[in-house]
């Protein structure tokens, strides 16, 4: 009996280890140079039973104002990017300057690891549960580890391109978590684009529909920004500050305009604007939006210290 118990225990441990190995190794992005003023961190994720990484920015007075708590912005990178990538740099450098100039509130910014091409979903095969790691593990970890204002009205999410898709997907699927939403040139896949063999965004993303959604349109629908915003319209309407920005020379102009029109049809207030001469480029977007990219958070959070 003891020997049988030992073998059962050994088998269980082996299965757990095999399952852990099945998760995408990219959950721990190697430490590299990231946006100035950010710190590379890892934490234990219950979802993958192992470590996951992120980068974090702490406002200039964080170490001095020991009693102060801060709003949090979760920033989602675009396709092919990482938490260490270049895309978040123009956002963060502008934000840091605006905070120091008194034109934006002091905030914590968390740069989420989106595994380069996850669309911020849990993959259909279960091996890339980016959504669960972010929602179930990362957000509670941040609130437990740093001096955050752990309330919906003080939690924002922003992203560029694939990160814009992830922003709409997560913010509107979990409206109880996010009070502020900022979509920068979102790659807002819909039924037509998502089911295209190349993923509907460009020829450089072959098999994306299969890789992330298992080729299953119903699975995509379960979290699609086009679906969840309809399902949760009553929880979003009048309760969420929403901004959408896209360049008038951006290949994603039409889909962002279409999404803005969907929000309008649902009577969900949203601040939509096109940016003259701007292509699908985060540096161009933040340069054109200018200081408004960050004073937006003054409106979102107001007086934020407690």
Residues 118-161: pLDDT tens digits?
Answer: 999 999 999 999 999 999 999 999 999 999 999 999 999 999 99
In angstroms, rounded to a whole number, what is the distance separating the alpha carbons of residues 117 and 124? 14
Contact assessment for residue 37 and residue 108, using Cβ atoms and an 8 Å cutoff: no
Q: At what angle do helices 282-289 and 292-301 cross, to 10 degrees?
A: 70
| pLDDT surpassing 50 at residue 69 | yes
* Strand arrangement, sheet containing 72-76: 38-45, 50-57, 108-112, 72-76, 155-160, 180-184, 241-247, 271-275
275, pLDDT greater than 50? yes
Overall average pLDDT of the 60-87 stretch: 88
pLDDT of residue 30: 84
Q: What is the pLDDT of residue 19?
A: 45
* pLDDT tens, position by position, 167-207: 999 999 999 999 999 999 999 988 777 655 544 444 345 57
pLDDT of 305 = 42
Q: Which residues pair with 274 in a beta bridge?
A: 246
Q: How many CB atoms lie within 10 A of CB 207?
A: 12
- At 76-117, the pLDDT tens digits run 998 887 777 666 778 888 999 999 999 999 999 999 999 988
**Of 130, 225, 232, whose CA–CA distance to 169 is shortest?**
225
User: How many other β-carbons are positioned within 10 Å of the β-carbon of residue 265?
Assistant: 10
The answer to whether residue 280 scores a pLDDT higher than 90 is yes
Lowest mean per-residue pLDDT among 104-108, 182-186, 213-217, 262-266: 213-217
Q: Among 141, 111, 118, 144, which residue's Cα sits nearest to residue 23?
A: 118
- The token duo for 128 is 């890339």
pLDDT higher than 80, residue 11: no
Predicted local distance difference test score (pLDDT) of residue 92: 87
Cα separation, 208 vs 120, in Å, equals 12
Partners of 156 in beta bridges: 73, 180
User: How many other CB atoms are found less than 10 A from the CB of residue 17?
Assistant: 11
pTM above 0.95, yes or no: no
The answer to whether residue 39 scores a pLDDT higher than 80 is yes
DSSP calls for the chain: -HHHHHHHHHHHHHHHHHHHHHS-GGGSPPP---STTEEEEEEEETTTTEEEEEEEE--TTTTT-TT--B-EEEEE--TT--TTSSTHHHHHHHHHHHHHTTSS---EEEEE--TTT-TTSBPTTSS-BHHHIIIIIIHHHHHHHS-B--SGGGEEEEEETHHHHHHHHHHHHSTTT-SEEEEES-----HHHHTSTTTTT-TT-TTHHHHHHTT-HHHHHHH-HHHHHHHTHHHHTTT-EEEEEEETT-TTHHHHHHHHHHHHHTT---EEEEETT--S-HHHHHHHHTTHHHHHHHHHHSS---
Domain over 26-301 is classified CATH 3.40.50.1820: yes
In contact, 39 and 63? CB cutoff 8 Å: no
What mean pLDDT, rounded, does the chain reach? 87
85 phi-psi bin (left φ>0, alpha ψ -120 to 50, beta other): beta
């Amino acid at each position: 009996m003891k020997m049988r118990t030992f073998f059962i225990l050994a088998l269980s441990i082996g299965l757990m280890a095999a399952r852990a190995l099945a998760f995408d190794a990219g959950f721990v992005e190697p430490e590299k140079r990231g946006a100035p003023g950010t710190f590379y961190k890892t934490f234990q994720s219950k979802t993958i039973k192992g470590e996951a990484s992120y980068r974090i920015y702490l406002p200039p007075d964080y170490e001095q104002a020991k009693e102060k708590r801060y709003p949090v912005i979760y920033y989602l990178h675009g396709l092919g990017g990482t938490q260490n990538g270049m895309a978040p740099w123009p956002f963060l450098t502008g934000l840091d300057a605006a905070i120091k100039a008194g034109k934006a509130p002091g905030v914590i910014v968390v740069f989420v690891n989106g595994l380069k091409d996850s669309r911020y979903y849990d993959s259909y095969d279960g091996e890339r549960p980016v959504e669960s790691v972010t929602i179930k593990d990362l957000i509670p970890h941040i609130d437990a580890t740093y001096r955050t204002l752990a309330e919906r009205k003080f939690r924002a999410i922003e992203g560029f391109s694939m990160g814009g898709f992830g922003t709409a997907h997560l913010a509107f699927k979990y409206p109880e978590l996010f009070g502020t939403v900022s979509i920068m040139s979102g790659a807002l896949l819909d039924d037509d684009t998502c089911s295209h063999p190349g993923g509907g965004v460009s020829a450089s993303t072959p098999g994306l529909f299969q890789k992330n959604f298992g080729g299953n349109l119903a699975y995509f629908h379960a979290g699609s920004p086009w679906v969840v915003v309809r399902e949760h319209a009553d929880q979003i309407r009048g309760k969420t500050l929403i901004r959408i920005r896209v360049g008038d020379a951006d290949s994603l102009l039409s889909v962002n305009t279409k999404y803005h029109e969907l929000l309008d049809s649902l009577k969900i207030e949203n601040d939509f604007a096109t940016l003259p001469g701007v292509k699908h480029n985060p540096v161009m977007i933040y340069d054109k939006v200018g200081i408004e990219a960050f004073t937006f958070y003054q409106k979102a959070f107001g007086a934020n210290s407690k």
